Amino acid sequence: MSTVGKAISLLEHFTLKEPEIGLSDIARKSGLDKATARRLLVALAERRLIEQEPLSRRYRLGAGLSRLARMRDAHLPFVRVAAPFVRELALETGETVHLSEFSAGALLTVHVELSAKANRVSVDVGQILPLHGTASGIAFLAFSRPETVEACFGKPLTAFTPHTMTSRDKVMEAVRLAAERGYSRSAQGYEEGVHSVAAPILGSDGFPLGTLAVASPVSRIDDAIADSQGQAACEAGRKISAHLTGEQWHASVPLRQR
């Protein structure tokens, strides 16, 4: 791994549950030597991506990250534009809805609206979703360039539950079905007990930027409910796409046009 990769991997050890980490600890977690870890942390701290608590001498994520994230959000207002529609869809369906953005070969969860119900699916912002094992991933692939789809099969497909589709044929069949009806459907492919439907959010080039997914406990779902969730997700996805690209939104927008 490159030195830069190692440095960034250090950042990725800071989580919601463990927002501050000591030197020896992070060296152990990352598998790096203590001296190496420290040099990297110091380099990161010089650029404000890491801060050190002066008293405990523990490290945490730095203010520079907030600064850079603000730059990005100002320019690429994906979450800002989509958030109201995500909320609307969550209210309409009564289920947890999450928004994902494609990045580096996977989908990154960037926004979540939790269901108001007691028995609900919980999703964390920041969670990384594989393309082959989630409704979001299938919806994304269904509208992606052939190269993107192909790249997904470059590595063996990990099974997350006994229900995960791990053969290329099964995945492609799901993709074909999703392309046909506009949304994908997946039950327990990534987490036990979770049913999801997902629709793509298309950019100005007609290819997906990310996805929108409705996640419910499997016990609450039948075909009719799934289909109505799917329709609603599609419509919300189209609205978001339209707002992002500045184009007029047509109720009967064709699914694929090239």
Q: Which of residues 54-73 bind DNA (CB under 7 A)?
A: 57-58
Give the three-class secondary structure for 243.
helix
Task: State which of residues 2, 219, 252, 257 lies at the interface with a copy of itself (CB under 8 A).
Answer: 2
In angstroms, the CA 82 to CA 227 distance is 22
- Residue 180, beta-bridge partner list: none
Task: State which of residues 74, 118, 224, 251 lies at the interface with a copy of itself (CB under 8 A).
Answer: 74
Q: Name which of a copy of itself, DNA, none residue 251 binds, using a CB cut-off of 5 to 8 Å depending on partner kind.
A: none
Q: Give Dmax over CA atoms of the chain in angstroms.
A: 60
- Residue 185, beta-bridge partner list: 197
Task: State which of residues 9, 11, 13, 25 lies at the interface with DNA (CB under 7 A).
Answer: 25
- Residue 150, beta-bridge partner list: none
In angstroms, the CA 99 to CA 181 distance is 20
Minimum distance between the CB of residue 223 and a copy of itself, rounded to whole angstroms?
34
Binding of a copy of itself at residue 114 (CB under 8 A)? no
CB nearer a copy of itself, residue 176 or residue 256: 256
Binding of DNA at residue 35 (CB under 7 A)? yes
Binding of DNA at residue 151 (CB under 7 A)? no
Hey, what are 118's tokens?
């007691």
CB 108 within 8 A of CB 99: no
Contacts of residue 147, defined as CB under 8 A and 6 or more positions apart, other chains included, come to none
Residue 214, amino acid: V
Binding of DNA at residue 4 (CB under 7 A)? yes
Binding of DNA at residue 147 (CB under 7 A)? no
Q: Which of residues 195-234 bind a copy of itself (CB under 8 A)?
A: 205
Contacts of residue 152, defined as CB under 8 A and 6 or more positions apart, other chains included, come to 105, 131, 132, 141, 171
Rule CB under 7 A: which residues touch DNA? Answer: 1-4, 6, 22-25, 32-36, 38-40, 52, 57-58
Rule CB under 8 A: which residues touch a copy of itself? Answer: 2-5, 7-9, 11-12, 14-16, 19-20, 39-40, 43-49, 51, 54-55, 60-76, 79, 101, 103-104, 108, 110, 125-126, 205
